[in-house]
Chains A and B, each alone.
Chain A
Amino acid sequence: MHPTAYAVGLTMARKHKSVLPGFGLSLGFTLFYLSLAVLLPMAALALKAASVSLDDIGRTLGSERVQAALWLSLRTAFIAGVINVVFGLLVAWVLERYNFPGRRLLDAFVDLPFALPTAVAGIALTALYSPNGWLGSIAGIAGIKVVYTELGIIVALTFIGLPFVVRTVQPVLQDLDAEIEEAAASLGATPYQTFRYIILPHVTPALITGFTLAFARALGEYGSVVFISGNLPGKTEIAPLAIMTKLEQYDYNGAVVIAALLLVVSLIILFIINGLQAWGRKRKLA
């Protein structure tokens, strides 16, 4: 639709909006259910976090074990995100641009990590990459140990994060006319130059958004990681597991401190994603 037609439609719609009934009822129900199911429990965390003493914060964040868990989570989520950017772009590109047998099936399977319960993914990856598993035995020949190491955590987080990157990049590639690439090629650009100067700038906002979504998910991920990581304190214990450990020791204040920190990081990430999406829209209009 033409932008001006869209704007006119929008103002017309706005003028007529009050004509439709049910605003009070639907908004009231929305607010009521939202408060009960989400805001009330979230307020409990905020209240509890506000009542934690500085001593408890210092004790929790000062502990080497907690610090190791936080850094491990940030590091592995970052590395998995980078791997997903590379392979996610490749997968999105191949699925969007080429027709080959099995394309539709592969396209559907990209969403498997969304649909497969995390605990199932966790035990399956552990069985697959354990020293006598199908892939673990191959890695073992090369002297690489996956299960119960940081590498295992990265494998699980890459599995969980892949669809975020593929599904954010795919629509952008669909929007990018193949003719532009053909024009570049006909003007003598090498495939590398077309990729570097035409495609990459176009998909960069989507790639960063996909990375950020995958990173945020990986930071809080629990089920797929706890089986393959082995949970060695200070070595392969991730931040969400550190919360679990604190809870099992009835150290509620410690659990709240780590949880609040994770939540703040997630909210900052959410804020960045919103900014990125606005940036992407602006670039598309320009």
Chain B
Amino acid sequence: MAGIVTKQAKAGARRARGPRTPAQIGLVLIATVFLVVFLLLPLVVVFSEALSKGLGLYFAAITEPEAMNAIKLTLIAAGIAVPLNTLFGLGASWALAKFEFKGKSFLLSLIDLPFSVSPVVAGLIFVLLYGTQGFLGEWLADNRIRVIFAVPGIVLATMFITFPFVARELIPLMQQQGNDEELAARSLGASGWQIFRRVTLPNIKWGVLYGVILCNARAMGEFGAVSVVSGHIRGKTNTLPLHVEILYNEYQFAAAFACASLLALLALITLALKSFIEWRGHSGS
């Protein structure tokens, strides 16, 4: 703990210095210009294009029935995938951070697996499993269940893509916190559930929130994987990012950017919350 405090004090002292020599000022300027041109301008373009045809068209574009359906489907997919993956993250971090067992690092790599799969490949594997030509295709057709080109496929693909987010955030955090407090609670006679609720959860709550907002941002914004399994049926299997694509490909640029601006707003909220949690995490502990 003392090590962390001195390190932070040191970092603060170091940062207190502004750039002094012309070379240092030059470096700061180059980095700032690079970030503004490269990261900030695309974001500004989204809002400027969205409002280029006036506020009336902007609100018309985001309230037309197809857009509303796309928003609804996006909320459904994230509304299922995010809570399930959060539950998984909590369970996995308890098993992996609190206990030692054989094959743990292998299990960790398996949890990370969806991060190294291309979104298009992630969509493809669900087509191979649940599509009409897929391994379970015949059985699903016999039971009149549609997964691919329907809502369940979109939910499954979203779950896959966002699978590791919460677990990845919590496992290192819980490992770092150790077991001391839980063991003390145990020795005082607390049950497993009580330990988790009263001791562990309060300690990791900012970590959980951090994982959830990142998971949610990706779930609502996922494009490639969802694009493969959705079939682009307007008003039925279009999520918001897919709706943006369709409008864009139909040269309805202002409408496409209007819908995109909603997703850009989501990104801004995500960044703001993320910074807040990082700040809170620093000053809170």
Contacts and interface: CB of A to CB of B under 8 A. Distances in A.
Interface of A: 1, 9, 13-14, 16-23, 25-27, 29-31, 33-34, 37-42, 44-45, 47-48, 87, 90-91, 93-100, 102, 104, 106, 108-121, 123-125, 127-128, 133-135, 158-159, 162, 174, 177-178, 191, 216, 219-223, 227, 240-241, 243-244, 247, 252, 255-256, 259, 262-263, 266-267, 269-270, 274
Contact of B186 (A20, A41, A115, A134): A20
Interface in B183-222: 183, 186, 191-192, 195-196, 214, 217, 220-222
Interface of B: 3, 7, 10-11, 14-19, 23-24, 27-28, 30-32, 34-35, 37-43, 45-46, 49, 84, 88, 91-92, 94-96, 98-101, 107, 109-114, 116-121, 124-129, 133-135, 156, 159-160, 163, 178-179, 182-183, 186, 191-192, 195-196, 214, 217, 220-224, 227-228, 241-242, 244-245, 248, 253, 256-257, 260, 263-264, 266-268, 270-272, 274-275
A14 B100 contact: yes
Contacts of A159: 38-39, 42
Nearest to A91: B31
14 contacts: A13-B179, A17-B99, A21-B195, A40-B129, A44-B135, A96-B15, A115-B267, A117-B222, A123-B248, A125-B42, A135-B37, A223-B241, A259-B124, A266-B117
A38 B163 contact: yes
A26 B120 contact: no
B28 A98 contact: yes
Contact of B128 (A19, A45, A240, A267): A45
A95 B35 CA distance: 11
B46 A22 contact: no
A30 B101 CA distance: 14
Contacts of B31: 87, 90-91, 93-95, 106
A42 B268 CA distance: 33
A245 B41 CA distance: 32
Contacts of B178: 9, 13
The 7 closest A-B pairs by CB, nearest first: A220-B118, A117-B221, A21-B192, A222-B224, A223-B223, A26-B95, A124-B42
Contact of A115 (B114, B248, B270): B270
Contacts of A120: 46, 221, 241, 244, 260, 263-264, 267
Given A102-B32, A115-B267, 8 more contacts: A23-B98, A27-B101, A37-B159, A42-B125, A100-B32, A117-B260, A134-B45, A162-B39
Contacts of A104: 275
Contacts, number: 301
B221 A263 contact: no
A221 B115 CA distance: 12
Give the interface SS of chain A, mostly helix, strand, loop or mixed. helix
A50 B52 CA distance: 52
B163 to A, nearest CB: 6
A119 B38 CA distance: 16
Contacts of A227: 248
Contacts of A241: 120
A51 to B, nearest CB: 10
Given A102-B32, A219-B118, A119 B244 contact: yes
B19 A98 contact: yes
Nearest to B3: A1
Contacts of B186: 19-21
A108 B271 contact: yes
Contact of B16 (A17, A99, A223, A267): A99
A16 B17 contact: no
A119 B27 contact: no
A16 B183 contact: yes
A97 B14 contact: yes
B35 A91 contact: yes
